A and B are shown apart, each in its own frame.
Chain A
Amino acid sequence: MPSFDPWVWVSALLTLAIFSFLYKDNPFYKIAEHIFVGATNGYAVTFYWHNVLVPRLFNPLFQGHQLWYIIPLTIGILYFTRFIPKISWLVRIPIGITIGYFTGIAIPAGIEASIIKQVGGTLLTSENFARWNAGPLGIVWSIILFIGVLCVVSYFYFSKEHKGVLKVTSGIGIIFIMIGFGAAFGYTVMARVSLLIGRLQFLLGPWLGIIR
């Protein structure tokens, strides 16, 4: 039996409106898109106000009298200077702080996670052989991985044309990359299908009551 809950109907009709884009752009899709964007923005503003600005900034500053909170407040306010043309250059201060701060975090983290850990995991050592949990085959897998990593890195070497040895290694590298992408593709498609199943279950279950 179809649902009598009006919110379920709103939800189902909006889902169908979004799905209608598969046919072509149409007014229903436009309505759903604008509601979606508007609602999420409204939600975000409220969320940041109630969960970030008030409890994390205004309360400690104005009620708790923790004066050093003026510093982040000032930096944040500088973002709004771009509305005043004469001092709009001040917006570069918070941007510079933000990018500098996050780049500082990102570079060491990137070197640790994407280089040092990966190099450690690629070495042909007994620890890595054992990680495959495949007995003697672990050695074979480790060697394949080792060759794959060297060849893929050579593909991303930009200082030389892909000629001679580099042509061979980068050729092998691109094969490894494509195998990796193929696996990722299949894996991700399965995840997307599960999202679709989730929506269909909603339409056929809570909305139409065809499945339970």
Chain B
Amino acid sequence: MLNGAFIILLISTLSPPENVRALKIINNDSISITIGWDKSKDNARVENYEIYRSKYTLLKTLVQDTIFIDQNIKSENYYLYDVVKKEKIKEYNGQKNFLKVVSIGYQIIKDTISKRNIIKWKRPNDLYLGEIYEIWRVDKNDNYELIGSVSKEKNSFRDSLIKDGAKYFYKVSAVTGTEQSFSTPSEPLFTIGIPKFLFAQDIPNDEGEGFRIIWEPSPNYDMIKSYALLRLVYDSIAGFKDTFSYTDTTLKPGINYHYYIGKNYQIIMPAKIVADSIGMTGRVIKLEWKLNPKVVGQNYDLTLIYRAEKDSANNFQYVDYTAPDEEKFLDGTAEPNKEYIYEARAVKERAIPFSIERDTVIENKRMVSLSWKGSKEPPEFLGYYVNRTEKDSGNYGIYARLGTQVNTYRDRIGIFNNVPYAYRIVAITKDGEKISSETTPYVTASPQWFHLGRINALIGIAIFIFFVVFFIEYTRKGRQDIFVRRIAGLSAIDEAVGRATEMGRPILYVPGTSVIDDVATIASLNILAEVAKKTAQYNTPLIVPNRDPIVYTVAREVVKESYNKVGRPDAFNPDSVYFVTDSQFAYAAAISGIMIREKPATNFLVGMFWAESLIMAESGASTGAIQIAGTDAVTQLPFFITSCDYTLIGEELYAASAYISRNPTLLAALKSQDYSKLVIVMVLVIATILALLNFGIPIFNFFNIQ
């Protein structure tokens, strides 16, 4: 099928443009190809059209139609078509009724990946045969450039002076004497280029056992089907249980090797067949097993599934693998009418320190002796394994298949600390060609405490903390002249609490629907503390329904503490703060019900919200309550703005607790936020100026976080 082909088939005219129109593929599928062409301006002169296919096979002659369906095709084949128009010419060189034959030609332009474009064309025949053909290349700025010419016998040209990733357009002109006729421009052509590694590096700030690999994405990803990431493979060459040394005598001359000693563990968990059915894709057996408690939290790498026929119960064969904490598996490879038994085997492998005792050559035979220390092992210990790979020449295996849009990958499977690895990235084109990058330098993983790729974040945090400490000290020294501008939503809190008190109705406080690690939730609990103080002072009932169990516990303590602080512990009602449910919409339904039945005078909807925001805000609005909302969820703020009386937008939410309490320490924190914002603005302006002045400093990279 043409679609699957890498060759770009372009069809255009090579004859005088005012006389002939383009030949087009209208449709192509696995059983037919439909081609069409435009009618000549003076169609009355056309006697017929002849349709040719590859190798000048005349398929059909058409008199008036300008469309042809070729059903005699095989899939996965290339076909080239040509339509020849025969015109009646009354006078030509004194002869009458001469048939002028004009080819509506085609051209093929092929991207060969290996940095050359091949331009092919079909020679126009008879009168329009050129004496030479000129090949013009057009860059993306529409500048024409003659890049070469060939004699009339040739019908192709190779353009090797091309750059990776650049777009090129071509035209071919047939030159006869002083006449020159151009083909229509080709579609833009790309070169794919060889994938280029930027780096493979140990993932910083972790326990090791993993690499981060980044490569330069191809600018022409539409021509690439996928990438494959290849990693240096270590082969297991020997295994022992109670032996702690090994001499490798199977070394090839002139090659260096890498080694590591791995020790393996395996826990066998009998798997139970819970379903055995024939589905659309054949027999499917569903297994379940109970995870051995030793597996949990012990960094087991995988669970391997093994199967044996019931008659030969000891002959277990490997089937597939699952994640280490899975407890079920679907086996779709079972044969019909056979009975099986299964095992799930949790496995892990660890690399241990070893030393090379000797590396000698005796009678031209090289021997490397390795030794390591044994240790007391649990029953699931399988043994020590000596693993080896050839240095440099290398044995590479595919470790990940990746899409065209990604250019980074974290490889964490089966990597051991202090063992050298290397990578290659292979671009696989749509026609199956594989283009491999250079190999990365050897990299080793190790546990690290400090993440060097996040120093910019550390600087940001340090600046912020500096401001916080500075302003807290500032307020402690008695300079409490900290100004904060008026924030309408927060100024309304007093009014809202007062209104509820006057009306003798409760206040409903919804601390968001998120968990405690959400900054908005923490900000909401700070506001709750201040609201609770006011309700305690006025003895106004407060209702705080919660969605998250931890937030509930914290909210309860916060409210209790506030009642204590204003000297009203007796007024605290433990049942006023309660847990509803952790289901998002069930919680929204319950809040709506509370709003309608309890008829609070004021509703606070402060914290993190998702899709339930409008349900709650609209229910509250329908009861006539004053509503004060606050969130940093950009997608929910518009709903609060439309349905609530006051809305705290993003940052105002974080400023709220300081604003309400006027607590000097909290005000100091707010001030430090403001100064941090000033720093951000200054950084933005200065960095932009530096970037625009182009001093060669990679400004953009300073803001990259790895």
Q: A residues touching B (Cβ–Cβ < 8 Å)?
A: 18, 21, 25, 29-30, 32-33, 36-37, 39-41, 43-44, 55-56, 59-60, 62-64, 66, 69, 79, 82, 91-92, 94-95, 98-99, 101-103, 105-108, 110-112, 115-117, 119-128, 146, 149-150, 153-154, 156-162, 177, 180-182, 184-185, 187-188, 191-192, 195
Chain A residues positioned under 8 Å from B515 (CB to CB): 102
27 contacts across the A-B interface (CB closer than 8 A): A36-B586, A37-B587, A41-B583, A44-B582, A44-B583, A62-B293, A66-B293, A79-B553, A82-B556, A95-B550, A99-B554, A107-B461, A108-B457, A111-B460, A111-B464, A112-B454, A125-B699, A126-B691, A146-B688, A150-B681, A158-B487, A158-B674, A159-B674, A184-B635, A191-B611, A192-B611, A195-B611
A112-B586 in contact (CB<8A): no
**What size tier do the contact residues of chain B reach?**
35 or more
A92-B557, A102-B517, A181-B638 known; A25-B294 Cβ under 8 A: no
Least Cβ–Cβ distance between A166 and chain B, in angstroms: 9
Which chain B residues (477-494) contact chain A, with CB distance < 8 Å? 483-485, 487
Least Cβ–Cβ distance between B513 and chain A, in angstroms: 13
Chain B residues positioned under 8 Å from A21 (CB to CB): 589, 592, 619
Which residue in chain A gives the minimum CB-CB distance to B647?
Answer: A181
Chain A residues positioned under 8 Å from B296 (CB to CB): 55-56, 59-60, 64, 66
Which chain B residues (666-706) contact chain A, with CB distance < 8 Å? 670-671, 673-675, 677-678, 680-681, 683-685, 687-688, 691-692, 699-700, 702-705
- From the candidates A18, A101, A158, name the one contacting B589 in the complex (CB within 8 A): A18
Binds A, one of B3-11, B194-202, B346-354, B650-658: B650-658
Would you list the 9 A-B pairs with minimal beta carbon distance, nearest first?
Answer: A120-B703, A102-B517, A64-B293, A40-B583, A185-B638, A63-B293, A59-B293, A156-B651, A181-B638
Chain A residues positioned under 8 Å from B649 (CB to CB): 177
Least Cβ–Cβ distance between A177 and chain B, in angstroms: 7
Most chain A beta-carbon contacts within 10 A, residue among B293, B460, B700: B293
Chain B residues positioned under 8 Å from A119 (CB to CB): 680, 683-684, 687, 703
B703-A44 in contact (CB<8A): no
Least Cβ–Cβ distance between B198 and chain A, in angstroms: 15
B700-A127 in contact (CB<8A): yes
Q: B residues touching A (Cβ–Cβ < 8 Å)?
A: 291-294, 296-298, 325, 454, 456-457, 460-461, 464, 483-485, 487, 515-519, 522, 550, 553-554, 556-557, 580-583, 585-587, 589-590, 592-593, 596-597, 611, 614, 619, 634-639, 641-642, 649-652, 655, 659, 670-671, 673-675, 677-678, 680-681, 683-685, 687-688, 691-692, 699-700, 702-705
Which residue in chain A gives the minimum CB-CB distance to B687?
Answer: A123
Chain A residues positioned under 8 Å from B464 (CB to CB): 111
Which residue in chain B gives the minimum CB-CB distance to A47?
Answer: B582
A116-B705 in contact (CB<8A): yes
Chain B residues positioned under 8 Å from A162 (CB to CB): 485
- From the candidates B517, B650, B670, B684, name the one contacting A123 in the complex (CB within 8 A): B684
B457-A37 in contact (CB<8A): no
Which residue in chain A gives the minimum CB-CB distance to B484?
Answer: A158
B485-A159 in contact (CB<8A): yes
B297-A60 in contact (CB<8A): yes
Known: A69-B297, A159-B674. 11 other contacts (CB 8 A): A21-B589, A25-B596, A39-B586, A40-B586, A91-B553, A98-B550, A106-B518, A119-B684, A125-B688, A161-B485, A184-B634
Chain B residues positioned under 8 Å from A56 (CB to CB): 296-297
Least Cβ–Cβ distance between B561 and chain A, in angstroms: 10
Least Cβ–Cβ distance between B128 and chain A, in angstroms: 39
B688-A111 in contact (CB<8A): no
B554-A158 in contact (CB<8A): no
Chain A residues positioned under 8 Å from B659 (CB to CB): 158
A150-B684 in contact (CB<8A): yes
Q: Tell me the interface secondary structure of chain B in the complex.
A: helix
Which residue in chain A gives the minimum CB-CB distance to B557?
Answer: A95
Which residue in chain B gives the minimum CB-CB distance to A32?
Answer: B589
Chain A residues positioned under 8 Å from B457 (CB to CB): 108, 111-112, 116
A120-B700 in contact (CB<8A): yes
Considering the chains assembled together, what is the distance between the CA atoms of A107 and B461 in angstroms?
8
B677-A156 in contact (CB<8A): yes
Chain B residues positioned under 8 Å from A112 (CB to CB): 454, 457, 460, 705
Least Cβ–Cβ distance between A1 and chain B, in angstroms: 26
- From the candidates B554, B589, B688, B699, name the one contacting A37 in the complex (CB within 8 A): B589
B634-A180 in contact (CB<8A): yes
- From the candidates A95, A153, A177, name the one contacting B680 in the complex (CB within 8 A): A153
Considering the chains assembled together, what is the distance between the CA atoms of A123 and B517 in angstroms?
30
A91-B553, A123-B691, A159-B674 known; A106-B637 Cβ under 8 A: no
Chain B residues positioned under 8 Å from A111 (CB to CB): 457, 460-461, 464
Which residue in chain B gives the minimum CB-CB distance to A177?
Answer: B649
Chain A residues positioned under 8 Å from B650 (CB to CB): 156
Which residue in chain B gives the minimum CB-CB distance to A56?
Answer: B296
A36-B585 in contact (CB<8A): yes
Chain B residues positioned under 8 Å from A37 (CB to CB): 580-581, 583, 586-587, 589-590
B688-A157 in contact (CB<8A): no
Considering the chains assembled together, what is the distance between the CA atoms of A55 and B291 in angstroms?
8
Chain A residues positioned under 8 Å from B589 (CB to CB): 18, 21, 32-33, 36-37
Considering the chains assembled together, what is the distance between the CA atoms of A101 and B705 in angstroms?
22
A99-B522 in contact (CB<8A): yes
Considering the chains assembled together, what is the distance between the CA atoms of A156 and B519 in angstroms?
17
- From the candidates B484, B593, B634, B635, name the one contacting A29 in the complex (CB within 8 A): B593
Chain B residues positioned under 8 Å from A185 (CB to CB): 638-639, 642
Which residue in chain A gives the minimum CB-CB distance to B487?
Answer: A158
Considering the chains assembled together, what is the distance between the CA atoms of A32 and B590 in angstroms?
10
Chain B residues positioned under 8 Å from A117 (CB to CB): 703, 705
- From the candidates B581, B587, B700, name the one contacting A125 in the complex (CB within 8 A): B700
Considering the chains assembled together, what is the distance between the CA atoms of A35 and B299 in angstroms?
41
B517-A122 in contact (CB<8A): no
Chain A residues positioned under 8 Å from B461 (CB to CB): 107-108, 111
Considering the chains assembled together, what is the distance between the CA atoms of A60 and B641 in angstroms?
49
